[in-house]
Structure 1
Amino acid sequence: MDPRGGDYRQQARDFAVLAVLEGEEGLSGEQEELARAVMEVVLLAGLAPYNIEAAADGEETGVGLAPAPGNHRALRVKWQQDPAAARHLTPELCKAQQAAMHQALHTILSAHRFWIEDAPLSEAPLVLGRTRPGH
């Protein structure tokens, strides 16, 4: 599947399930609906979604999703760095790249009017809904 071409909505539906990070629980119905919307924005922004099937082959880089503990409607949107590339970087550089990607995800999702929990920009955004209440 090519995240740069084709029908973004169909690809977003496909990636909504494939982008759940390894070791995480499956998504609730509300989370899966939110995941489709998030993945559509990720694809439109030109970012690669994490793909659990490709991760099995060692290609683990991309925007991944994790269910929010205790909130069956929210999703944590995380940048998954390539572990092979990260081995060649200092821990400080890995941390800086991770923080920058989370800040970029926060900015992109906010621009698309997703409701994101207030937290430091360097943290993986916690998406609470498609729009902030009252907007």
Structure 2
Amino acid sequence: MDPMGGDYRAQARYFAPLAVLDGDVLTERQEELARAVLEAVLLAGLQPYNAEAAADGEETGIGLAPVPGNSWALRVSWQQDAAAATHLPTDLCYAQQAAMHQALRTILAAHRFWIEDGPLGEAPVVRGLTRPVG
């Protein structure tokens, strides 16, 4: 997963377009935010979703999706390994997904991202690099 020899900023730039789910296209502002989000999660030791690896069945990682109607926000979600999830009870899969989303919310908040308020188990929506004061 380290194509850039430990340079997290370079890795975030590399993975930003690959981590976008469902082939969505990001705006310039979302692309900038995607790089910052991925740098934070890489620093936390989490791997980004990789569309190229997903084509080979390796679907686990942090995925990004544009928020409909908002050209500058991103939804940041954990993509579970689909093959492993088939061997687990549905409630366990849901609990794991909710826990990872809560972990993402905590990590991103610690890095001072502006995160939209929402239920703890849902994928966080990141609105900016820092929360506005006031």
Q: TM range, normalised to the smaller chain?
A: over 0.9
Q: Does 1:43 align with 2:42?
A: yes
Match of 1:132 in 2: 131
Q: Does 1:16 align with 2:2?
A: no
- For 2:98 and 2:129, the matched residues in 1 are separated by 23
User: What percent of counterpart residues are identical?
Assistant: 74
Match of 1:110 in 2: 109
Post-superposition Cα deviations, 1:37-59, rounded to whole Å, max 9, x if no partner, equal: 00000100000110000000000
Post-superposition Cα deviations, 1:90-127, rounded to whole Å, max 9, x if no partner, equal: 00000000000000000000000000000011000000
TM-score, reference length from structure 2? 0.96
Count of residue pairs brought into register by the alignment: 134
Match of 2:30 in 1: 31
Q: Which runs of 5+ in 2 are unaligned?
A: none
TM-score, reference length from structure 1? 0.95
Match of 1:60 in 2: 59
RMSD: 1.5
SS at match of 1:17: coil
- For 2:77 and 2:32, the matched residues in 1 are separated by 17
The code of the aligned residue for 2:20 comes to V
SS at match of 2:62: strand
Segments ≥4 residues shifted beyond 3 Å: none
